[in-house]
Homo-oligomer: A and B are copies of this chain.
Amino acid sequence: MQQTIRVTVWCEHNQDRYEPVSLVYPHGMHEAIAEGLRQVSDFQVRTVTQHDPECGLDNELISSTDVLIWWSHLDNNDLPDDLADRVCSHVLNRGMGLLVLHSAMFSKPWQKLMGIYPQPPGWGSFRTMPQGERQRLWVITPGHPIVQGIDACIEIPRDEMYGEPLLIPEPDKTLFISWFEGGDVCRSGCIFERGNGKIFLFTPGHETFPIYYQKEIRQVLKNAVRWLAPSGTGAFQPDVPYRDGTPKENLQHRL
């Protein structure tokens, strides 16, 4: 019997309260993202926003979350450090999965987990045009669970360009690389493992375009949730004595 995966979609919910973004996402970006995931019977999906108490990251909620999805942009710096650290700790220790979307690559939880907080200047690039530009996300690893059901590439008609060189540690695996009409490239789907937890950076998703309604993007998010779910307890039992039998309580300390 398959176990339910408890997903929490977290969004800052700022720009999507006002036009023009609210025209694209009338119920907020979190609800559009959640809608796609609710089609999966063994996902139990909640949404929270930065406006909720404790920025939507209270202990009970986060402790009962298997996979946390994060979209943020303008309010990245308003997240208190201790709440960002709480997210990191659940990834590292409890193995909570983290899905980092678009501008969340400038959020504190992501940057802290990658060792790039605060990010120095001079890294990455972007190009924002009202009409957007075409993006093709090429599949680099056809056998990976996150790309199942996806053709050779996903074509997004209009998106913002996010480009290299991203300031990220070498990914465990690069699943997607994006081609942009304007002449740039981006490692747009990358996985990392940190402590007991898995992390997926997925860079498309500018707020002014209906990207989180696109069928292939929803497929990737579904696949990603399943892959990100913690695979085990990660429980750690240090009951191993010194080799000559000296009582371990005298000798062995876990940090």
A residues lining the B interface (CB < 8 Å): 2, 85, 88-89, 92-93, 95, 112-129, 134, 136, 138-145, 147-148, 151-153, 155, 163-167, 169-170, 172-174, 177-185, 187, 192-197, 230-243, 251-255
Residues in B with CB closer than 8 Å to A253 are 125-128
Contact of B124 with A167 in the complex, beta carbons under 8 Å? no
Contact of B193 with A251 in the complex, beta carbons under 8 Å? no
Knowing A148-B231, A231-B144, the reply to whether A183 touches B242 (Cβ < 8 A) is yes
Smallest Cβ distance from A110 to chain B, in angstroms? 9
Classify the interface of chain A: helix, strand, loop or mixed. Answer: loop
Contact of A239 with B194 in the complex, beta carbons under 8 Å? no
Smallest Cβ distance from A47 to chain B, in angstroms? 26
Residues in B with CB closer than 8 Å to A172 are 170, 172
Contact of A182 with B242 in the complex, beta carbons under 8 Å? yes
Complex: A185 Cα to B177 Cα, angstroms: 7
Residues in B with CB closer than 8 Å to A177 are 164, 177, 185, 187
Knowing A112-B117, A173-B170, A194-B115, the reply to whether A148 touches B92 (Cβ < 8 A) is no
Contact of A140 with B165 in the complex, beta carbons under 8 Å? yes
Residues in B with CB closer than 8 Å to A181 are 243
Which of B142, B174, B193, B237 is the one whose CB lies under 8 Å from A196?
Answer: B142
Contact of A255 with B123 in the complex, beta carbons under 8 Å? yes
Contact of A231 with B145 in the complex, beta carbons under 8 Å? yes
Complex: A236 Cα to B128 Cα, angstroms: 21
Residues in B with CB closer than 8 Å to A173 are 170, 193
Knowing A174-B174, A253-B125, the reply to whether A234 touches B142 (Cβ < 8 A) is yes
Contact of B88 with A126 in the complex, beta carbons under 8 Å? no
Complex: A142 Cα to B167 Cα, angstroms: 10
Contact of B143 with A251 in the complex, beta carbons under 8 Å? no
Contact of B240 with A152 in the complex, beta carbons under 8 Å? yes
Smallest Cβ distance from A67 to chain B, in angstroms? 14
Contact of B145 with A232 in the complex, beta carbons under 8 Å? yes
